Structure 1
Amino acid sequence: MSARPVIACLGAGRMGRGIAVAFAYAGHEVAIVDFKPREADKFNALEAEALGEIRKTFASMARFGLLKDADIETLVARVRIVPEADAGAALNSSAIIFEGVPEVLDQKREALARASQLAGPEPIIASTTSTILVDDLSSAIDKPERFLNAHWLNPAYLVPLVEVSPGAKTDPAITAKVKELLEGIGKVPVVCSASPGYIVPRIQALAMNEAARMVEEGVASPEDLDKAIKYGFGFRFAVLGLLEFIDWGGGDILYYASKYMTSALNNERYAAPEIIGRNMAEGKIGLRTGEGFLNYEGLDVDAYREGRLSAFVDLLKHFQLQKPPVL
């Protein structure tokens, strides 16, 4: 990728605006392309509303200490709202186009087909869909080797993660370029296969449904359940990844806990997947054996644990829960 390439966002909704903020903050010029034909007065209203929201977003970031008030107008000036009549020129001059039209398959395919024609063969095209698989969309694209999914999590300008999902025809070099671009603006891209729910939505759907089910069953009040998530579940997984956490405690603990939960609650949804038992049979318990889901061979385990525990302490300070010892 060349230095600070021009970015296009297809669609002037929340996702397009959030992506525009992220790239403008990092020094890129951004064109938010309105793909709907509108009367001039209606386009002017949309433009004012979109730029107004972007300005408010930068203002909130200034209040959070992420920029200075004096920087706001400079950043807003990097974003322009482009009417449908000028879409071709804007898309053609962009290095990458992020599609953010509504989550309707036919609408997305129609918009992507039209955008790929207007843009010409060079720009990379990425859908930001949260539900539709890349290969359900790629056939609409001229030169589908330049197409992939890039799933941002809201708010796009704050959440670091972007899930990058290449399709069967995606050129690996395109995936690498998109990762490089995202890393260049401070994002953390991860590559995942074309699978429903990607990574985070698939895991959080299970967690959210289980939390709702526990309220329904009277296990805890909504207030206490959310407190448990914030100060227990979320606290730990802000430092340790889920698989890292399995290795930290030992895959055998999860194996036996899953057996008990499956029996006690009489529900197979708590059963451990085969890989947990297979790892145990192969001696891949985690930190204790030097390998689990991750490989710890040659790692200074004491220093590693110290670093993770130090990160927990930093979170305690963030939550203002750290108290001095009682002497």
Structure 2
Amino acid sequence: MSETLPNLEKIACLGAGRMGRGIAVVFAYAGHEVAVCDLKARPEADFQRLADEVHAEIKDTLQILASLGLFDGTHIPAIIKRVRVVADADKAAALADSDVVFEGIPEVLEMKRELFAKVSPLVPPQTIIASTTSTILVDDLSGSVEHPERFLNAHWLNPAFLVPLVELSPGAKTLPAITKKLSDLLERIGKVPVTCAARPGYIVPRIQTLAMNEAARMVEEGVATAADIDKALKYGFGFRFSVLGVLEFIDWGGGDILYYASRYLVNALDNDRYAAPPIIEQNMKDGRTGLRAARGFLDYEGMDIDAYRKERLGGFAQRLKALGLARPPAP
């Protein structure tokens, strides 16, 4: 592996915290030069301690990944060499030389707006700027960005260096070409980008917030112990959805099953939070009930259904093996 691969985008991270360090690992691993920009004016000695801390954490992370068999640890020095920590006073030069800038400061709206107003004029107009916010909508920030057509949200899931997904949320002024350019870059470094509308919660946080609150509620209600609820989620809920998407799973079982199950839970638990959205009933009326009808949330028209089922069952079998739960038959 060469220390620096040619013609790769230069990345800058605004903030030297957890997110900036995680993103630095991802891009440096893929061969990109990364500037992690400190945003606080510090005495030289304090800055050097920060820079040493950043490099030490990146080294520790890479050593863990190597120990897990993800790559040959002899590449670690070359990867680390691609990451430089930049003092606040020197960030203008680093930003002027960047192709993509990721903001990763705390989730405080005014703090982010102030930062974008200050740094976006330092960034070339063609450079993509992305916030990694998990809570603030893109257009609540874009007004502070010079040339907002190159700005969007890119929500990474922690740990950024392991979780493949990145949720992209373009704003009203974001050029489609910018979203595609960032999506293509993320795919090239091994990530799985998805694009979603500017709505609170993106995709994963919105769904996982419901799941986490419901799990906590079941502990509160004495449905099961915390350990058994987590076991059920790991070996049932998580097992299924590591292979099938949630909407794909609705199709797999049939949208009608979800419709009737939802009605039962609403009545049995006397709570409308279990009610199915109107799209479920509409799909039933339209005959989009899932796999059996060859159309549901997804379209299965012309697909070899038997081959598709076998492929998905193969995914379940691999998960079973990975969990150490695949056993030979009794003699």
**Same fold per superposition (TM over 0.5):** yes
Give, in whole Å, the separation in 1 of the partners of 2:126 and 2:176: 16
Give, in whole Å, the separation in 2 of the partners of 1:88 and 1:68: 35
The CA deviation at 1:120 is 3.2
How many residues in Structure 1 have an aligned counterpart in Structure 2? 326
Counterpart among 5, 9, 26 of residue 5 in structure 1 = 9
3-state SS of the aligned residue for 1:44?
helix
Give, in whole Å, the separation in 2 of the partners of 1:172 and 1:61: 35
Give, in whole Å, the separation in 2 of the partners of 1:168 and 1:102: 24
3-state SS of the aligned residue for 2:324?
coil
Give, in whole Å, the separation in 1 of the partners of 2:126 and 2:194: 24
Structure 1 match to 2:179: 175
> Are residue 110 (structure 1) and residue 81 (structure 2) matched?
no
Structure 2 match to 1:80: 84
> Are residue 165 (structure 1) and residue 161 (structure 2) matched?
no
The CA deviation at 1:3 is 3.8
TM-score by length of 2: 0.98
3-state SS of the aligned residue for 1:288?
helix
RMSD: 0.8
The CA deviation at 1:69 is 2.1
Give, in whole Å, the separation in 2 of the partners of 1:6 and 1:110: 24
> Superposed, which structure 2 residues align to 1:146-295 within 5 Å?
146-295=150-299
1:24 alignment partner AA: A
2:102 alignment partner AA: F
Give, in whole Å, the separation in 1 of the partners of 2:293 and 2:71: 46
3-state SS of the aligned residue for 2:101?
strand
Structure 2 match to 1:132: 136
The CA deviation at 1:280 is 0.2
Give, in whole Å, the separation in 1 of the partners of 2:201 and 2:96: 31
The CA deviation at 1:174 is 0.2
2:172 alignment partner AA: A
Give unpaired runs (5+ residues) of structure 2. Answer: 1-5
Give, in whole Å, the separation in 2 of the partners of 1:274 and 1:188: 30
Give, in whole Å, the separation in 1 of the partners of 2:93 and 2:71: 31
The CA deviation at 1:41 is 1.0
Give, in whole Å, the separation in 1 of the partners of 2:150 and 2:20: 20
Structure 1 match to 2:305: 301
Structure 1 match to 2:145: 141
**Percent identity over the alignment?**
64
TM-score by length of 1: 0.99
Shifted more, 60-69 versus 153-162: the winner is 60-69
Structure 2 match to 1:99: 103
3-state SS of the aligned residue for 2:139?
helix
Runs of 4+ in 1 over 3 A off after TM superposition: none
Structure 2 match to 1:122: 126
3-state SS of the aligned residue for 1:165?
strand
After superposition, what is the alpha-carbon deviation per residue over 1:16-62, rounded to whole angstroms, capped at 9, x for unaligned? 00000000010101000111111111111110111110010011011
After superposition, what is the alpha-carbon deviation per residue over 1:116-166, rounded to whole angstroms, capped at 9, x for unaligned? 011132211000000000000000000000000000000001000000000
1:114 alignment partner AA: K
Give, in whole Å, the separation in 2 of the partners of 1:290 and 1:95: 44
2:60 alignment partner AA: K
After superposition, what is the alpha-carbon deviation per residue over 1:233-256, rounded to whole angstroms, capped at 9, x for unaligned? 000000000000000000000000
Counterpart among 2, 13, 25 of residue 21 in structure 1 = 25
Counterpart among 60, 66, 71 of residue 67 in structure 1 = 71
